[in-house]
């Protein structure tokens, strides 16, 4: 379970370029729910995600994961509870390390790193099994440097890595945005499969309204650093991109003019 209460973050405070990225954002995600987050550029989607992961410190407010306060914890201390896939396929894996070494790094997420071998023979089979499910032939390339893989392949491995250890929340930051449409579709399907299999509590930021409505159980829209729309259940099932836009206009009294959001 994730509970964010009244989060506030201001970039460059007291300067001409002051940006109030989060303005009292509150959101609660119950265990096992898959939430998609949309919003225009600058709505605060990525800022919110980074606040939950610990990459950005909040000015005020609190973040609870499973009733334990994590607001002031650094990224690496939250890692036991938070798994993450980045937007940039290059960001989520270590280019210089092999596929199995990357997976070994993720295998240790949340536990102490000691002096035992990082990649053990028994784990290797385990990794091979996971990779085989991707159907990309990566199971035969365990000792290849991950830098040799394509963006889509690396993103798929990142997803596997995020699910290797149990986590209380999985954060997906527009993780299909940098991929070509076919690969993006593949990674999205993989995401849905893994989330369903492991019943992960998930928050996925996306730039596409279509995707936001098609995937997951609940859709949240951010605007000017606050939650302005929150739809789920029956209401969400019958919804179209157009309905979502109408709702937004009713709530805010303004029109959305972000092409990327409308077209995709």
Partner 1 sequence: MSLFSLFGALEIGLIFSLVALGVFISFRLLRFPDLTVDGSFPLGGAVGAVCIASGMDPFLATVCATLAGAAAGVLTALLNVYLKIMDLLASILMMIALYSINLRIMGKPNIPLIMEPTVFSVLQPEWLVDYIGRPLILIVVVVFAKFGLDAYFSTQQGLAIRATGSNPRMARSQGVNTGAMIILGMAISNGLVGLAGALYAQTQGGADISMGIGTIVIGLAAVIVGESILPSRKLFMLTLAVVLGAIVYRFFIALALNSDFIGLKAQDLNLVTALLVTVALVIPLLKQRYARRKRV
Residues within window 45-84 making contact with partner 1, judged by CB under 8 A: 53, 55, 74-77, 79-80, 82, 84
SS3 of residue 69 by DSSP: strand
Shortest distance (Å) from residue 102 CB to partner 1: 8
The residue behind tokens 């730039």 is 207
Which CB atom, from 79 or from 179, has the smaller least distance to partner 1?
Answer: 79
What span, in angstroms and rounded, lies between the C-alpha atoms of 50 and 57? 8
Shortest distance (Å) from residue 93 CB to partner 1: 7
Which CB atom, from 99 or from 261, has the smaller least distance to partner 1?
Answer: 99
Residues within window 133-152 making contact with partner 1, judged by CB under 8 A: 145
Which CB atom, from 74 or from 137, has the smaller least distance to partner 1?
Answer: 74
Residues within window 87-116 making contact with partner 1, judged by CB under 8 A: 91-97, 101, 104-106, 108-111, 113-116
| Binding-site string for partner 1 from residue 168 to residue 207, where x marks contact by CB under 8 A and - marks none | ----------------------------------------
DSSP sequence for 4-48: EEEEEEEESTTSTT-EEEEEEEEEEE-TT-EEEEEE-TTSSHHHH
Residue 247, Cβ density class (10 Å: 0-12 exposed, 13-18 middle, ≥19 buried): middle
Shortest distance (Å) from residue 88 CB to partner 1: 10
Spell out a b/e string for 35-69, using b for 16 or more CB atoms within 10 Å of the CB, else e.
bbbbbbeebbbbbbbbbbbbebebeebebebeeee
What span, in angstroms and rounded, lies between the C-alpha atoms of 168 and 162? 11
Binding site for partner 1 (CB under 8 A): 53, 55, 74-77, 79-80, 82, 84, 86, 91-97, 101, 104-106, 108-111, 113-119, 145, 161
């Amino acid at each position: 379970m994730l509970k964010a209460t009244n989060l506030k973050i201001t970039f460059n405070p007291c300067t001409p370029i002051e940006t109030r990225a989060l303005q009292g954002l509150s959101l609660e995600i119950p265990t096992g729910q898959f939430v998609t987050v949309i919003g225009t550029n600058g709505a605060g989607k990525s800022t919110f995600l980074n606040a939950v992961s610990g990459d950005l410190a909040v000015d005020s407010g609190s973040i609870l994961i499973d009733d334990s306060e994590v607001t002031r914890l650094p990224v690496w201390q939250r890692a036991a509870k938070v798994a993450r896939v980045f937007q940039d396929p290059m960001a989520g894996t270590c280019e210089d390390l092999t596929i199995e070494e990357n997976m070994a790094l993720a295998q240790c997420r949340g536990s102490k790193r000691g002096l035992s071998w990082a990649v053990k023979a028994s784990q290797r089979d385990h990794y091979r099994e996971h990779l085989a499910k991707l159907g990309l032939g990566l199971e035969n390339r365990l000792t290849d440097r991950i830098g040799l893989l394509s963006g889509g392949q690396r993103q798929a491995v990142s997803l596997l890595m995020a699910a290797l250890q149990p986590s209380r929340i999985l954060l997906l930051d527009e993780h299909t945005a940098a991929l070509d449409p076919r690969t993006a579709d593949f990674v999205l399907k993989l995401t849905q499969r893994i989330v369903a299999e492991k019943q992960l509590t998930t928050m996925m930021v996306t730039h596409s309204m279509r995707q936001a409505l098609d995937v997951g159980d609940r859709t949240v829209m951010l605007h000017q650093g606050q939650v302005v729309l929150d739809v789920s259940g029956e209401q969400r099932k019958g919804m179209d991109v157009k309905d979502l836009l109408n709702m937004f206009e009713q709530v805010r009294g303004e029109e959305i003019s972000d092409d990327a959001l409308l077209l995709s």
